[in-house]
Structure 1
C-alpha cells in the first residue's frame, strides 16, 4: 500500500465542516495529492480545471475573503498587441454546509449536505468586445480520506445523465448544475463549456456548483450562532484573531446523536471529525471569547462517555473518547499496522482534560443547570482516574495498547516515535507521561471544587488524591543534566524517568502540581535556546539524539503546545516569558497570512527568516487557531473579555460571582 501522505503547505482551501475543497495555490483543482472536493471523509471530485480559449488563464493573486470563501484572480491575454492586462477573470469559490431533514421535523436529522460553488466574473477594459470560450473540466472521484492520506490516486467511473451528474456510494450523492452551458460527458469526466462575449465595462458572470449530500454521515453542520472575533486596538492582533475565528467557524461541527451541541473538528483535511483531546483543548483556550463551544463539546463527549471495558476500542467506564470515524480506520505508522474502530477511546488525557474544561467553563459562566446535568459524567470521569487510568496501581496514569492494533502512544504526542530517551532511543510502555499526571492533579482539584460547590460528596477524597499525586510526582519524575534539574518526559515500563528534554514539561505550568521553585526551573528550561527556537518551543531539545527540526513530535514546533505553555506561564506569573513566546508565535502567524499552522519546523529564528512549513500539517487546525486567544492575552490584550461580557452580561455576572477562575486564562476572562 502507498504511504506517501500528500503535502498541503502550498495548497489553498475553502472549508465549512464537513465540506471542504482543496486546490493548488492558483485555484485549479488537479488530480494531485489531496486536491479535490470532499463531503465528510470522501472525495467526490478530484479535478476542476478552468481554461480560456484552450489555455489556463494566468494567475496573479489569491485573496482570502474568509475560511469559507476565496477569490482567485487571473488575467486573460485576448490581444497580443495590448501589453496591459485589461481583461480579468475572478474565480470566487465558496463552501457551505447544511443538514438533511425529513419533512418538517427539525429533529429528524440523518446526515449532512453542502455545496461548493464558483462564480466566474469577467471584466474588460478592451476597446472592442472579446469572444471567449470558457471551459471547465471536472473529474469524478469516490476515494476515502484514509486512502488519500496514504497516497492512493483514487478516481471512480460514474454514470452521469444530462446536466445532473450523480452517483450513490456510501450514501453520498453529487449533483452538478451549469446553466446556459454545453455539457459533454465522457466516463467520469464532465466538461462544461461557455461561449461568451465580454463587452468593455460590462461585467459578465458565470456560475457552477456541486451539491453534496451524505445521508449516513455521523457528522452534521453545526447550528447556533457563529463565534465572534473580539476587537483589538493592535492591528496585528486584530488580524490574527479575525483569521483564527474565521477558521474556527469553518471547523464547527455537531454529531448526529447530539445535533445541537457544537464542537470543533480537529482540523482539515485529515481530521474533520469529533476528536476528544483536540476539541477539549481548543474549547478551553476559547473560553475568554466564547463559552458556548465549551458547553457543546462537554455534552457531545459526555454522550459517548465509556460504560464498559473493551480492549478493541480501548473503552473503559468513565473514559472520554479519542476519535469518531464513519468506518474502521486502517493505516500504517512506522511499521505498525493501525486499525482503529469507528469510535475509539485510545487517549490517556482526554478524560482529565474534560473535567478541567467543565470546571473552567463553569467559572467562565456556563449556567449552573447545564453544569449540574453533567455532574454524573464528572463523577464517572473522576472514578476513571482512580480505577482505570492507573494500570498497575502505582498512583500514576499510564497507557498501553492492549489491542495490538491501536495507537502505541496515547498522549497528545501520539506518533509511534514520540517518547524518547535523551540518547534518542524509544521508551517502552506502559508509559506514564509527565503532563498527564499534572492534568490528573488539576482535574482532581477542580473536580473537588465542583462537587463541593454543588453539594455533592467526595471532594476531600479528590483533594487527597491530588496531594498524593503531587508528592509522588516530585519523588519520581525529576532528572538532572548539565543544565540542571528538569521534569522527565515520562516513566517507562520499569518506572524509570525517561530523560528526554521535551515541551511536555511546559504543560505542568498553571496546573498547580509544581511549587514556585519548580515553576522557575521549568520556565528557565523551556526558554533555553535548546528548546525555544525564537518562534516557539520545540517538542524535543536540540541536544536529543533523535532531534530533527521537521520530525513530527521530536523537533517540530506546535502552535498549541507553545500556547499551552504560554497559558501556564500567565497563570503562574511569568508574564515576560509568556510575552516572548507569544511574540514568536505572532511572527509565525504573520508569515503564514495570519493563520497559525498546526506545526512548523524547529529551525532557529537566527537561521531562518521565517518558519519552515511542516508540509502535511492541517490547515486550519482547531487548537492552533484557538491559540490566538492565548497569544492576545500574553501580549496585553485585556479587552478580549469585554465583548463577551457585553453580549452575554448574565453569563459574565454569574462567572464573576463565582470568584477567581483559577485557570490559565483568567486574566482575560475577568477583565472589566
Structure 2
C-alpha cells in the first residue's frame, strides 16, 4: 500500500473559475486563459499531464495590456484572440491590430501578429512575461498552489524554466522570427511595424518531463485538424436544422479533443472533461463510449480494454480497490500524488458488463468480446461478493477509509444524497440507479452467454435479474409519492427524495410497467422538468438549490439517459411526449451555449431565465455532455441495431424543429447504411440482403 496522500475525487465541488476563462484542450494538455489570451491568476495556466507548466503568460504592449476586440475558438484546441493597441495621445482611433493564434497539444504553439493599418511606420515595445510554478492540478483546483524553486535560464532564442525541487519538470519557451531579448521571466522585442504592413513572431512552449523534452504535436496541425480523426469510421450525423447541426459538429470535435491515446497499448479512451478531469474515469468513459456507439464501436472496445487492464485484483482500503472492481479514476504522477488508480465508484463495475454486450450488438467482433468475458465475470463476482455488503441482494457503498469519496454514485458531491427534508443519508447506501445498472448487467451477461453457447450461465443471470427487479420494486417504490426512492440508507430506510436517479432506472429497464406511468407523470411536472432539461433534484425537496452541483442543477448526460429511458417505455402514456420535450429543451439549451453543452448548468425554470444560467465551474468540454446529443437523437430515432441477429429497428419520433436528420455511412459489420429520418418517418438505404428492417 502506498503512503497516505490526498487524491482528487470526481464528486468534489471544482475550484472556482471565471466564466470569462477560455479553455483549450487536446488530450493531456489544456490551457486556461483570459479572453485576451493572457495567463495569470488562481486557476489559469498551461497544464500538461496534471502539472501546470506556465503560471504566467502575459503580453504587454508599451507596458500595458492590449484591449480585447474579438475571440474565436473554432476548435477545442485552437483560439484566435483579436486585440488592439489603445490609441496614442491625440489620436481618436487605434491603427494597430494584434492577433494571437494559439494551438495546444503536448505543449503550446502561438503566433503573435501585429498589423499596422496606419500610414506611418510604428515602433512598439512588446514584452511577454513567462513564468512557471509547476503546481499539481489538485493543488490549483483546491486553491493551494504555491511557488516552488524555479531556475530560469536564458539562451539563444529560448527561455528554460526548471523545477528545482527534483520532479524533473521543466518547460522551454522558444521564439522564431525576430530575435527577442531574453531575460529570466521575459521575452522582449522592439518591433518596427511598417505602414500598411505587419510584424510577426512564433512561439513554442515545449514541456520537459523526466528531464526529457516532449515533442509538441500541435505544430503539424495547422492544415488538418486531428479532432476530425478521433475515430476510424467516416460515419456522420447531420441535420438540416442549422442549430442542431452546429451542436452535432461541436460534439464530434469536442470528443476528438478529449480523446487520449495510449501509445503503449495502441488504444485510447475519452477523458472525462476539461479542465480538471483530463484522464480516464470508469463511469464517464464507459457511458461516453455507450453514447458514441453509432459513430464508432472501436472506442467502446478500447475503453473496455483499458479498464480491464486496471481491474481490481486485491483489497486496498486506501485506493478502494477490490477484486473485480472497475476503476474510478486514473491520475498521472505529479507533485501532489503518486501515479494512482482509485476505485471509489459503485457503478462503473456493472456498467462495464452492460457496455460489453451493447458493443457486440453494434458490431464488436466476437473474438474481441470473448477476450473480455473474464473481466466481465470478475466484475459480476465483485457485485455479489463486495458490492452487496450485507447480502440483501442490493449493491451498496461505504468508503473503506477517510481518504475515499463519501458518495460513490454519479452524484458524488458530499451533499448529493439527502431525503425529502434535506437530511443527509448515512451509509451504507444502495442507490436506485445502481440497482438498475446491476439488473442490466445480469441481462447483458445472459445475452453474451447465449451468444457463446453457455446456456447454464444465461439461465442463472436471467433468474438473478428477475429476482432483483422484483426486490427493487418492493424496496424502492414509494406508493404515497408515486416515485422510486433515491436509495436505501444504512438502516434500509427509503431516501425518499424525488430525483433524476429514478429516470435513469427507466433507461436500464428495471422499472415495472405498472409503475412507469405514474413515474412519468412525476418527472413531467414543473418540479423536475425545467424546460431546458431534467433537474437532478426536484424543486420542493429540502436540499433543492438550482445553483448547486447536484441538488437541482441540470446535467445534460443525465437528461439524455432519462430521454433514452422514456423512449424505452414509449408504450406507456406520456413517456414518448416527455422524451421529445426533454430532448428538444436540452438541445435548445445547447444552442444558447453556442453549440457546446457544458458539464452542467443551473436548474432555474426556463420561463424565468432564457438563456439558461451557466454553472461557473462546469467542465467544458466534458465528455458526457458532449456525447449527450448523440444519445438524444439515437433515442428519438429508436435506433436499435443487432448485428449478430442481422436486425435493425427504428421507431422515429423527432421534433419538427430538427428538420431532416441523417446518419450516413453507419457501419454494420461489412455493410454501410444510411438512415434518413424526419418526424415520425424514416428510411434506410444500403441495408444488405438477409437483414430484417423494422420501422414502427
| Corresponding residue for residue 3 of structure 2 | none
Within 2, Cα distance between the matches of 1:360 and 1:486? 28
- CA change 1:470–1:657 in 2 (3 A) is farther
Q: 1:42 aligns with which of 48, 51, 54?
A: 51
Report what 1:309 is aligned to: 315
| Alpha-carbon shift at residue 181 of structure 1 (Å) | 2.9
Q: Counterpart in 2 of 1:526? A: 523
- Output the CA distance in 1 between the equivalents of 2:338 and 2:409: 16
Q: Classify the secondary structure of the residue corresponding to 1:263.
A: strand
Shift of 1:284: 0.7
| C-alpha contact (below 8 Å) 1:363/1:658 kept by paired residues | no
Q: Distance in 1 between matches of 2:107 and 2:127?
A: 21
SS in 1 for 2:663: helix
Cα deviation 1:614-657 (Å, max 9, x = unaligned): 11221211101111212344446774532333997379999999
Distance in 2 separating the partners of 1:345 and 1:648: 38
C-alpha change, 1:153 and 1:403, in structure 2 (3 Å) is closer
Q: 1:518 to 1:329 in 2, by over 3 A?
A: farther
2:39 maps to which residue?
Answer: 29
8 Å CA contact 1:535, 1:587 repeated in 2: yes
Within-5 A mapping of 1:624-639: 624-633=625-634, 634=636, 635=654, 639=661
- Number of the residue aligned with 2:290: 284
TM-score between both structures, scaled by the size of structure 1: 0.87
* Cα drift, residue 233 of structure 1: 1.6
- Deviations along 1:63-98, one digit per CA (max 9) or x if unpaired, are 0120010001112245555545543111111101xx
Map of 1:211 onto structure 2: 206
Alpha-carbon contact 1:94-1:116 (below 8 Å) kept: yes
Cα RMSD (Å) of the superposition?
3.0
How far did 1:480 drift? 4.0
C-alpha displacement of 1:324: 1.2
Matches within 5 A, 1:372-387: 372-387=370-385
Deviates more, 1:646-655 or 1:600-609: 646-655
Report the equivalent of 2:243: 236
Q: How far apart are 1:172 and its partner, in Å?
A: 2.6
Bigger shift: residues 486-495 or 520-529: 520-529
Cα distance, 1:489–1:540 mapped onto 2, change above 3 Å: same
Contact 2:85 2:97 in 1 (8 A): yes
The answer to whether structure 1 residue 538 and structure 2 residue 535 are counterparts is yes
Task: For 1:262 and 1:657, locate their aligned partners in 2 and report how far apart those are by CA, in whole Å.
Answer: 34
**Kept in 2: contact 1:231–1:643 (CA 8 A):** no
2:193 pairs, out of 198, 214, 231, with 198
Deviations 1:113-164 (A, max 9, x none): x121111122232122222222211121211111111112433342222224
- Could you say if the C-alpha distance between residues 153 and 10 of structure 1 is closer, same or farther in structure 2, counting changes exceeding 3 Å? same
**Residue deviations 1:243-296 (CA, integer Å, cap 9, x gap):** 12221111111446x532211111112111111001111111111122221111
Secondary structure of the structure 2 residue equivalent to 1:441: helix
Return closer, same or farther for 1:656/1:309 CA change in 2, 3 Å cut-off: farther
- Calculate the TM-score normalised by the size of structure 2: 0.85
The unaligned stretches of length 5 or more in structure 2 are: 1-5, 7-12, 218-225, 637-653, 675-684
Structure 1 residues 61-140: aligned runs within 5 Å? 61-77=70-86, 79-80=88-89, 82-96=91-105, 114-140=106-132
Superposition pairs for residues 622-661 of structure 1, below 5 Å?
A: 622-633=623-634, 634=636, 635=654, 639-645=661-667, 649=671
Q: Is the 8 A contact 1:329 1:342 kept in 2?
A: no
- Counterpart in the other structure of 1:226: 230
Change over 3 Å in CA distance of 1:651–1:388 after alignment to 2: farther
Measured at CA, do residues 444 and 123 of structure 1 come closer, stay the same or move farther in structure 2, by a change above 3 Å?
same
| 1:209-231 C-alpha deviation (Å, 9 max, x unpaired) | 211143499x9999994146532
What's the offset of the Cα at 1:394?
Answer: 0.6
Match of 2:64 in 1: 55
Q: Does 1:473 align with 2:472?
A: yes
1:57 deviates by 1.3
Out of 474, 481, 495, the residue aligned to residue 492 of structure 2 is 495
Greater displacement, 199-208 / 279-288: 199-208
> What SS class does the counterpart of residue 107 from structure 2 fall into?
strand
Q: How many residues are aligned here?
A: 630
Counterpart of 1:567 (choices 556, 564, 575) is 564
2:412 to 411, 414, 423: 414
Cα deviation for residue 572 of structure 1 reads 2.3
Query: Residue 145 of structure 1: which of 131, 137, 140 is its match?
Result: 137
Partners of 2:85 and 2:626 lie apart in 1 by: 36
Measure the CA separation in 2 of the matches of 1:76 and 1:8. 25
Distance 1:289 1:259 in 2: 22
Structure 2: distance between partners of 1:533 and 1:656: 44
Cα distance, 1:178 vs. partner? 1.3
Give secondary structure in 2 for the equivalent of 1:89: strand
Alpha-carbon separation, structure 2, partners of 1:146 and 1:657 = 55
Aligned to 2:254: 247
Deviation at residue 328 of structure 1 after TM alignment = 9.1
* Shift in Å, 1:201: 3.8
Is the Cα–Cα contact under 8 Å of residues 116 and 198 in structure 2 kept in the other structure? yes
